[in-house]
Amino acid sequence: MENPFRSEAAAFRFLLITIGAFALIVVASLISTTLGIVVWLLLSGAAVWVYLSQRGAAPEREHVEHVGGPDEHRVLVVANETLGGDELLSAISTLALTKAARFLVVCPALNSRLKTWTSDEDPARAAAQDRLDATLTRLASVEINVRGEVGDSDPLVAIEDAMRTFHPDEVVISTHPPGKSNWLESGIVESVRVRFDVPVTHVVVDLDSRS
């Protein structure tokens, strides 16, 4: 169940619900004490029903709020091994040419489960940082407004983090081709499409075809 104090907007909605609920209880109580208790019981039952029906359910589709000026278009680019791929750089360049876009490139520090459990993250983060630096340098050379960061080892968590800090208007996810991509196997692209109400572009980079 979503926490009612998760954000200011959620807290404000909860306040409005509280006002409505207590107004009903007070009005019913002024008519009759019994009616007041009945209304209180009904509202309490409704609250329990909402809690039970939401418990364990898939998270609701989240609205990613647009921030910045009306003309500003923010693009979140998520990639790891395919970060330097020509197809991805071409997609970024196309977006940069057609819109006044700001880019955030997130490179999840992919790691094995065992290394994650044992907090052995430094090599994975360093490797991700190297790929990120190379890509940022390449994008800067063609004057694209971009910054980057290394994300969580779980790509979906890394994307969720970026959603909250960057508020993108569009997401570009780069993966290996089907059959070679762990991200596609785990349904990252579909998960992001289901969870957030921003357009998601899937760019396939076939590194093998270049070699």
What is the closest distance, in whole angstroms, from the C-beta atom of residue 159 to another protein in the complex? 11
Residue 52 CA neighbour count, 13 Å, CB half: 6
Which residues 47-76 are close enough to bind another protein by CB under 8 A?
A: 65, 67-69
Q: How many CB atoms lie within 10 A of CB 189?
A: 18
What is the closest distance, in whole angstroms, from the C-beta atom of residue 35 to another protein in the complex? 12
* 161: alpha, beta or left? (left if phi > 0; alpha if psi -120 to 50): alpha
Nearest to 107, CA basis, from 183, 167, 200: 183
What is the closest distance, in whole angstroms, from the C-beta atom of residue 115 to another protein in the complex? 15
Residue-wise over 132-162: b if at least 16 C-beta within 10 A, else e? beebbeebeeeebebebbbbbbbbbebbbbb
Cβ-based nearer residue to another protein, 149 or 206: 149
Which residues 129-188 are close enough to bind another protein by CB under 8 A?
A: 129, 132-133, 136-137, 139-140, 143-150, 152, 154, 157, 160-161, 164-165, 167
- Mapping DSSP to helix (H, G, I), strand (E, B) and coil, where does residue 62 land? strand
Q: Provide the binding-site residues for another protein, judged by CB under 8 A.
A: 3, 5-9, 11-12, 14-15, 18-19, 22, 25-26, 29-30, 36, 65, 67-69, 96, 129, 132-133, 136-137, 139-140, 143-150, 152, 154, 157, 160-161, 164-165, 167
